[in-house]
Structure 1
Amino acid sequence: MPSLWQPSDWSSRLAELRATDTHTKEAPLRRDVRSLGALLGEVLREQSGDRLFDLVEQLRRLATERREAEFNHQHEAAQAKLDEALALVRDLDTATAYQLARAFGFYFELINLAETNHRKRRRLAGLLDTARPPQRGSLQGTLRRMREAGYTADEALTLLRDICITPVFTAHPTEVARRSVMFKRHRIAELLEQLDRVPNTEDALNRLQSDVLTEITALWQTDDVRNERPEVRDEIRMALDFYDASIFDTIPTLYTEVQNALRKEYGRDLSLLDLPTLVRFGSWIGGDRDGNPFVTPEVTRESLEMSRSLLEKHYRQRLSEALQQIAASTQQVGSSPELQAAIERYLRMLPSEAKNLIARFRFEQVRLMLACILLRLGGTPQISYASKHSERLPQYDCADDLERDLQLVRNALITHHGIRLAEMWIDPLIIEVRTYGLHLQTLDIRQHAKLHLQAVEEITQAIPGTAPDSPLIEEKPLTPQTTDVVDTFRAIADLKLHGDPTTIQQYIISGATSAEDVFRVLWLARLGGVPVAGNPKRKDPGMLIAPLFESIEDLQNAPVICRALWTSPAYAPLLDAAGRRQEVMLGYSDSNKDGGMIASTWEIYKAHRALHDVARECNVKLRLFHGRGGTVGRGGGPTHRAIYAQPLNSFNGQYRITEQGEVLNWKYSDVVLAERSLELMIAASLDAVARPDLRAHQSCGDCTGHLTGEMLPEWEQTLDHLAVVSFHRYREDILDNPDTFDYFQQGTPVAELEHAKIGSRPAKRSGKRSLADLRAIPWVFGWMQSRHLVPAWYGVGTALEGFARDNTGGLDQLRTMLRDFPLFIDMLRNVEMALAKSDFGIARLYASLVPDRALADRVFTMLQAEFERARSMVLLITGQSELMEQNQVLARSIRLRNPYVDPMSWIQVELLRRKHEAAAGKPGSINGEDEAALNRAITATINGISAGLRNTG
């Protein structure tokens, strides 16, 4: 068959790339979607027969016709189509239901790849169009706005040196894809990119299409559902895969982009090494113990070893490439005395090998030095002898030493007219050393405050007279929980003493409610021998103890707690030793679960602002760590908008943020995506520090202009009011209403998270069946899968409606805030996106799973009424006639996805019904089908719906 990607002429492809009208710009996306769908259909027929393909088409047709009827307000026709679809689904056996769920899920796997490829395509198009102003989220766009606001080049560079963003990878269980599936995704993504090349021969296009078809076949034949829950080691490995997949190649590219942006906007032609370090990486995987009994000291040690091993392998590869390419000879160019001295020092450590090394690299001092660096990193340069000796150069134990050796090579090259060689092969490596050190990523340790309290109380009771500065305690009959806490601190001490002390620099206290929570960790750390204040001789930076404030109440108390901590004479020595640095973490997921969208957003904002005020009073250099999730209900949303929405004068450019589960795949699966994601965070941080809009307006004598970040008193009063009203509505109807929890447990697939085998962490902190004990992730997961999305919008409609109704000019006030106030813009647009992804036509089907029909009707009616209030108010404030009217790209994506998500929801509801009937002992339930097969089929629907909504929980 002719290639699905064969154009009528290649000039049309170029026209698509350079187009500005929406229809032409999206033509390549439509082609990719159509072609991938056709190839999937071919695979379905080949692998599973015509019947499965026909069922897929039948369900898709019914879903499309139902949606069209609803859009045209033909409610009877829509109900008829739904009834027909549900009747078809009821007759499915479990095996067929499983295959259908897989088929629809795989469609979304492919569509997501097509949309991702289109994002890369449009980024390229933007770079090609030099006449188009740079985007706001780009670094060049931010620098241009700064220049136009009056910032000089030196001022811009000074502010840029304050910026450092740290994505912290976590294993929160929201990534449903198996590692093997992720590899196949990456391969298809590469093929789609190759199909975009202009021009391409017909044979090449056919070969690429055949390769795509092969990969789709391989995907279909791969188990998409895990047979076993992943271990922590698997999660560590999955996160590390992103370094090889994109990050290692991204960092040099990112700094080149920064270099180019400064040149284009300010005419400053800086080398890569003149730029500040703008990015570092962190991880929780292998260090986060809160509620995860599988994170042990051995796992923590293994996490550090795996990270270092991967990084050393990468450095060796980079050095080997440089060694092959740089062959500067002293017979052609001069030498460097400093380089010669370093080489001689290393050769004296290898008396038996020195002669062979000199013979192999005769007259090639740069190569010889690179070979010595390679040896120090555990590598073996390609030399023409077989060593029979055991001589080794000492491993690097400090990244500064590695950078110093590379600088010697660089200086030698530059001194003798080899600057281009240095810029190509050495400068990018030095940038990477500054970014990764010798550890790749820092590893945070996290544990809950309650376990620290339990451990301190138990130890002091079991061992009277124990003091904070006691030596390691002897083995005592302590509970397993306390033993684990003590062993954790012993492991930290050992790892800092015998490993790279910079790898563990943060200890997070989740559930922090007082200054005493920090002092208990200090007590336990000293008991375990951890040098919390650091050790300059070993270049140990110590360990910052960061309280994590999660609930609404704790966010409100955070400034008072931190003032008590920072003014305590007992804490002063630690602050001084840390250079007055302190880290505080703000929890988005739990605060949202605790108080709803508006209250969570506003209390985090106020805590952020107040903590910086207290830090200035106490002469503390504060860095906030933002515990954001992927979904709106867990603090997710567009990155640039969220960073820019931070309080004015309460951001110093240091930004740590959790990157959770599925977010890793969206942001870091590809070099282009990773570079864009990191650039967005850097640009947004610079934007939030510089506030060019505010500076421009101040120069005109006006401080209240569009997007300045200024907070007007009336806006603050408005948000105070909205937060209180929405909080009470959310608490009364959702958290404090036992009907809602019963509805949630029975009418959503939250209980199936266990069978999905998504992550190593249990869904609950204990075995209790209560809303308080349920983690935020399964809470959002259940509402997301059932298309309610309650945490992202509940209470918003009541608050907005009441304010607009009860206050003169209230609606105009809200519209002004939407135009001028970044925080309100971010919040309302995130609510709008969540409302657009919600679907109460589908949610009603899940409500039918609740056995108590009266309860189901009460809760569903309550939820739907608030949904409609929120929807109406968002439309009223934004002036739109439909949701996402001003974001047509996302609106079209949701509209096109729904007919393919709906069948998976229909199947999931039917399978859940069968499972509930079996659990209730209903005669004839599940027709003797195996429960494991039923769980497997339900998990397939979870995977598919997650892929379709691009969110898990």
Structure 2
Amino acid sequence: MKLSQKQAVFEKEVLTRFDLFKSLFLTLPFQRVRHTGTILPFFSTHCETGVSEHLPPEDIIDSFFGQYAQYIQEEDRVDLLFRIVQYIERQVVLFDAIEDSAFQTVGKMDETGGLKSLFRLAQNNPNLKKQIIEKLRNFSVRLVLTAHPTQFYPGPVLGIINDLIEAIKANDISNIHLLLQQLGKTPFINKEKPTPVDEAVSLAWYLENVFYKVASGIQSKIDKELEVPAEDVKQLIELGFWPGGDRDGNPNVTVEGTKRVASMLRTILFRCYYRDFRMVKRRITFRGVEKYLDNLQTLFYDNSFNPVENPVDETSKILENLQAIKQVLNTHHDGLFVEIVEDLIRKVNTFGCYFTTLDLRQDSSVLRKATNYLAEIYGDQLAVTTEQLTKSEESKQKALKFEEHTLDYKEDADPLVKDIVDVIRLIKSIQKSGSERAAQRFIISNCQQASDILGLMQLFLWGGWKKKELTMDFVPLFETVDDLSRASDVMRTLYTNKAYAAHLKMRGNRQTIMLGYSDSTKDGGYLMANWSIYKAKIELTALAREYDVDLVFFDGRGGPPARGGGKTQRFYASMGSEIDNNHIQLTIQGQTISSQYGSLDTAQYNIEQLLHAGLISEVKQNNGDTLTAKQKQVIGDLAAESHRKFMELRHHPLFLKYLETLSPLKALSSINISSRPVKRNSDRELRLEDLRAISFVTSWSQLKQNIPGFFGVGTALQWAEENNMWSYVRNLYQTSGFFNTLIDNCMMSMTKSNFDITAYMKDDKVFGEFWKILHEEYVKTKEYLLKLSGASCLMENYPVERSSVLEREKIVLPLLIIQHDAIRKILSGKLDAEQEEVYRKLIGRTIYGVVNAGRNLA
């Protein structure tokens, strides 16, 4: 389908439908909703006009209310603004549902980048087919759901969205009308801050309603098309889970919470199995299978509704009975209904008795504190002292003897130390109930040295684990630009450490390394962060090949390009021969979960895209994917120049003050969206290093300035032009998938920026000059991106995505004007305490709609 055709279909299937279905809101039997819906178009147009004239938000709001005699009182105005926010929130849901319902029709299912195109190539090329099948035996895609604070849709709303999608597909106007009524009465916000367990329950909705069904469907398609036995490809699609296990900077995650989450995941899975089994039992009513059906009935029912205190892994028993049923069907009943048994076998092979691997994560400083504590308490028993552990890195490494003990803490120990000791014990019982895949990874945040990994390994051996039974993978997380530059030195030390090398061998010589995009972008800017990670991958791959290590890169990506998001599958498809790509692992977080994996269609599409990217990057690489020495030098020079410009901005005395004063950063900590604090070390004044990357990026996106997604790129490109390197940069954009995707994602980030909204700030006495610095770089970057791509507008090559972005930005523009007006009213100091609290709530409410509409803003 040509670009112009796609655009026409999008306008017909999405934009026109949205205009039509919006009118259904006006027919809802809620008087206040009808009144708000009638006035909203006028308010939206007024906001658009005011922004185009660069008016301050208070002038836009006041001049609008000046047209209506009934809105003289402040409380009446605020009441209408709250209702406008609520109305727009629901418009965003409607747009999401309409867009997702048209997902396949619009043409996002582009076969040039999907599994179908790969299957076609394989059918006509036996050697390629053999290559793909061989790759599938040792290939996997792991999606890890995290509990980062930007998943704003509560479970009931997610259910409504999915029902709306199906009703819209069927043009069922009556049902759509009923669902909009339900939506009108369903709250979008939590009255109380969620606990980590609450977050786990919320995300489990996706496991049960989307991933459980999609994973087996994709596996079935591959089995059918490539004729690969299911037993040969057991873990093609894997799931990971952070809620309840990710303790980094979140004191609300407890051992009891971790235990509850692990138990909940197992119970939900068995209920999924039980629902499927009921269909198996309903269809297979033949002789010869009674015993096996009875066995499965007991297994599934008891584990679903009568959970025992100390459950065990029942996977082998389940598979044994299912295989027996399959054999009876094939032998005596002509294979009747064997496909529904095979479907359940695929699911059990994929999810076992655990559903998703529960990852554990903690900051290296906390882990060091626990190691030092136990060394101090048990100094007489151990061959290591606190003094040795607090000296040089060399001293720490020599001090760790990896002795096996069962140590405990004293009652007065630091709560964080207690948690680490207890959770190390708990992992054993989680593995017992669901196999080691239930909880097999411990991620070390802020990993700076080899002793951070070795120290954690020692903690496990002090926690009652045996070396020969240490079924754990220790995963370093390198995030900052400096840490990324030292990553290969850290890993070389580990690979040459006898104790660690022995452990790695026991784990199949597979090493997982996590690389964080979010903090590296906050630390060094967009270009430098992406180049630092790419370069680190090359270095780490070379090292792994030297030591015969099966390397797995686990990418900590957020939704927007500033946090590693954007067209993620294109990054993986463009990994050259210097980067290991045998496994694709990445975090899925925030509203990106609902936007990319919220429905069966979108989830299948996005998972297939990642599978295709991983397979094609190895079996059919493009010539330009492996960078030449000159290309690396060019990108390195661009990254260095961009980094210089970004650091100049970061060191500006108004940098953090601007963000803290004019964006809703402070409001992020007061709205009930996450169990995790907005910043680390919340007991001290805000510092950039304490501010979580997700809050940092979200705040810039609420300002519609998206600084982390582009700042410094324009300066770097200008530098290249002035230093006779432009032809090299143009060549990179045309031949390197990595660089092309990097630039295109930057364009996406800029398309979601709108400096007209804050143009009034250029005359501000305090922040005016700082705003001009930001705006000048935006203008420069836009100019050079268009020149580089030969396009007439940003995202010109992606007209459907561009139209979607622009429509969403139009929907939420009133929310931004309301938000910025409320912030400025509070800053004016003219409000009493009660009024100020009302406006703070108003700010909080606007954040929801803006992030949800953006789909990958945070």
Using structure 1 for the length normalisation, give the TM-score: 0.82
In 2, Cα distance between equivalents of 1:846 and 1:369: 72
Pairing partner for 1:157 from 128, 133, 137: 133
Offset at residue 672 of structure 1 (A) = 1.6
In 1, Cα distance between equivalents of 2:104 and 2:467: 44
User: AA paired with 2:596?
Assistant: K
User: AA paired with 1:505?
Assistant: Q
Q: Which moved more, 1:649-658 or 1:235-244?
A: 649-658
Question: What residue is the counterpart of 2:393 in the other structure?
Answer: none
Unpaired runs of 5+ residues, structure 2, are 67-71, 383-402
Contact 2:89/2:849, CA 8 A, preserved across alignment: yes
User: AA paired with 2:242?
Assistant: W
Residue 275 and residue 297 in structure 1: after superposition, are their counterparts in 2 closer, same or farther (change >3 A)?
Answer: closer
Counterpart of 1:721 in 2: which secondary structure? Answer: helix
Question: What residue is the counterpart of 1:948 in the other structure?
Answer: 853
Pairing partner for 2:349 from 423, 434, 459: 434
1:473 aligns to 2:384 (yes or no): no
In 2, Cα distance between equivalents of 1:550 and 1:140: 36
1:746 aligns to 2:666 (yes or no): no
Correspondence list, 1:185-224, <5 A = 185-195=161-171, 208-224=172-188
Question: What residue is the counterpart of 1:96 in the other structure?
Answer: 80
Correspondence list, 1:397-796, <5 A = 397-422=313-338, 424-467=339-382, 468-473=403-408, 475=410, 477-496=412-431, 500-531=435-466, 533-534=468-469, 542-690=471-619, 692-694=620-622, 705=623, 708-734=624-650, 736-767=651-682, 768=684, 769-796=686-713
In 2, Cα distance between equivalents of 1:520 and 1:843: 49
Residue 26 and residue 87 in structure 1: after superposition, are their counterparts in 2 closer, same or farther (change >3 A)?
Answer: closer
Question: What residue is the counterpart of 1:901 in the other structure?
Answer: 812
Contact 2:196/2:243, CA 8 A, preserved across alignment: yes
Question: What residue is the counterpart of 1:114 in the other structure?
Answer: 98
Contact 2:450/2:491, CA 8 A, preserved across alignment: yes
In 2, Cα distance between equivalents of 1:608 and 1:717: 16
User: AA paired with 2:749?
Assistant: A
Offset at residue 566 of structure 1 (A) = 0.6
Mark the structure with the bigger radius of gyration: 1
In 2, Cα distance between equivalents of 1:504 and 1:275: 21
In 1, Cα distance between equivalents of 2:229 and 2:427: 38
Question: What residue is the counterpart of 1:252 in the other structure?
Answer: 216
Please list the CA deviations of residues 109-129 of structure 1 after superposition, one character each: whole Å capped at 9, or x if unmatched. 2112111111133369x6xxx
Question: What residue is the counterpart of 1:349 in the other structure?
Answer: none
User: AA paired with 1:161?
Assistant: R
Question: What residue is the counterpart of 2:259 in the other structure?
Answer: 301
Q: Which moved more, 1:752-761 or 1:436-445?
A: 752-761
Offset at residue 161 of structure 1 (A) = 2.1
Question: What residue is the counterpart of 1:344 in the other structure?
Answer: none
Question: What residue is the counterpart of 1:698 in the other structure?
Answer: none
Counterpart of 2:408 in 1: which secondary structure? Answer: coil
Contact 2:559/2:856, CA 8 A, preserved across alignment: yes
In 1, Cα distance between equivalents of 2:4 and 2:285: 46
Contact 1:45/1:53, CA 8 A, preserved across alignment: no
In 1, Cα distance between equivalents of 2:508 and 2:56: 69
Contact 1:525/1:532, CA 8 A, preserved across alignment: no
Contact 2:26/2:37, CA 8 A, preserved across alignment: yes
Residue 366 and residue 45 in structure 1: after superposition, are their counterparts in 2 closer, same or farther (change >3 A)?
Answer: closer
Question: What residue is the counterpart of 1:139 in the other structure?
Answer: 115
1:371 aligns to 2:294 (yes or no): yes
Residue 277 and residue 569 in structure 1: after superposition, are their counterparts in 2 closer, same or farther (change >3 A)?
Answer: closer
Correspondence list, 1:6-45, <5 A = 20=5, 22-24=7-9, 26-43=11-28
Counterpart of 1:840 in 2: which secondary structure? Answer: coil
Residue 149 and residue 442 in structure 1: after superposition, are their counterparts in 2 closer, same or farther (change >3 A)?
Answer: same
Question: What residue is the counterpart of 1:356 in the other structure?
Answer: none
Residue 25 and residue 784 in structure 1: after superposition, are their counterparts in 2 closer, same or farther (change >3 A)?
Answer: closer
Contact 1:445/1:508, CA 8 A, preserved across alignment: yes
Counterpart of 1:165 in 2: which secondary structure? Answer: strand
Residue 449 and residue 906 in structure 1: after superposition, are their counterparts in 2 closer, same or farther (change >3 A)?
Answer: same
In 1, Cα distance between equivalents of 2:498 and 2:150: 42
In 2, Cα distance between equivalents of 1:883 and 1:285: 37
Question: What residue is the counterpart of 1:181 in the other structure?
Answer: 157
User: AA paired with 2:712?
Assistant: G
User: AA paired with 1:323?
Assistant: K
Counterpart of 1:477 in 2: which secondary structure? Answer: coil
Offset at residue 30 of structure 1 (A) = 2.9
Residue 84 and residue 732 in structure 1: after superposition, are their counterparts in 2 closer, same or farther (change >3 A)?
Answer: closer
Question: What residue is the counterpart of 1:9 in the other structure?
Answer: none
In 2, Cα distance between equivalents of 1:305 and 1:380: 10
Offset at residue 256 of structure 1 (A) = 2.9
Counterpart of 2:679 in 1: which secondary structure? Answer: coil
Q: Which moved more, 1:23-32 or 1:873-882?
A: 23-32
In 2, Cα distance between equivalents of 1:432 and 1:416: 25
Using structure 2 for the length normalisation, give the TM-score: 0.91
Residue 879 and residue 123 in structure 1: after superposition, are their counterparts in 2 closer, same or farther (change >3 A)?
Answer: closer
In 1, Cα distance between equivalents of 2:485 and 2:424: 30
Question: What residue is the counterpart of 2:792 in the other structure?
Answer: 881
Residue 367 and residue 649 in structure 1: after superposition, are their counterparts in 2 closer, same or farther (change >3 A)?
Answer: farther
Counterpart of 1:916 in 2: which secondary structure? Answer: helix
In 2, Cα distance between equivalents of 1:150 and 1:712: 31
Question: What residue is the counterpart of 1:12 in the other structure?
Answer: none
In 1, Cα distance between equivalents of 2:702 and 2:610: 29
In 2, Cα distance between equivalents of 1:715 and 1:259: 40
Contact 2:747/2:794, CA 8 A, preserved across alignment: yes
Question: What residue is the counterpart of 1:935 in the other structure?
Answer: 840
Counterpart of 1:43 in 2: which secondary structure? Answer: coil
Please list the CA deviations of residues 636-682 of structure 1 after superposition, one character each: whole Å capped at 9, or x if unmatched. 01132121133424224212111112121112222222211211111
Counterpart of 1:227 in 2: which secondary structure? Answer: coil
Question: Taking every aligned residue pair, what percent have the same amino acid on both sides?
Answer: 25
In 2, Cα distance between equivalents of 1:44 and 1:940: 24
Counterpart of 1:173 in 2: which secondary structure? Answer: coil
**Matched residue pairs, number?**
826
Unpaired runs of 5+ residues, structure 1, are 1-15, 127-133, 196-207, 263-268, 330-364, 382-389, 536-541, 695-704
Offset at residue 474 of structure 1 (A) = 5.3
Contact 2:559/2:591, CA 8 A, preserved across alignment: yes
Offset at residue 523 of structure 1 (A) = 1.5
In 2, Cα distance between equivalents of 1:296 and 1:900: 40
In 2, Cα distance between equivalents of 1:610 and 1:220: 53
Question: What residue is the counterpart of 2:730 in the other structure?
Answer: 815
Q: What is the RMSD computed on CA atoms of the aligned residues?
A: 2.8
Contact 1:752/1:939, CA 8 A, preserved across alignment: yes
Offset at residue 395 of structure 1 (A) = 7.1
Please list the CA deviations of residues 524-543 of structure 1 after superposition, one character each: whole Å capped at 9, or x if unmatched. 111112356537xxxxxx00
In 2, Cα distance between equivalents of 1:932 and 1:669: 34
In 1, Cα distance between equivalents of 2:124 and 2:47: 51
In 1, Cα distance between equivalents of 2:365 and 2:81: 44
Offset at residue 713 of structure 1 (A) = 1.9
Residue 671 and residue 900 in structure 1: after superposition, are their counterparts in 2 closer, same or farther (change >3 A)?
Answer: closer
User: AA paired with 1:58?
Assistant: F
In 2, Cα distance between equivalents of 1:505 and 1:839: 44
Residue 657 and residue 516 in structure 1: after superposition, are their counterparts in 2 closer, same or farther (change >3 A)?
Answer: same
1:58 aligns to 2:42 (yes or no): yes
Offset at residue 83 of structure 1 (A) = 4.8
Offset at residue 842 of structure 1 (A) = 1.2
In 2, Cα distance between equivalents of 1:169 and 1:608: 23
In 2, Cα distance between equivalents of 1:149 and 1:325: 39
User: AA paired with 1:840?
Assistant: F
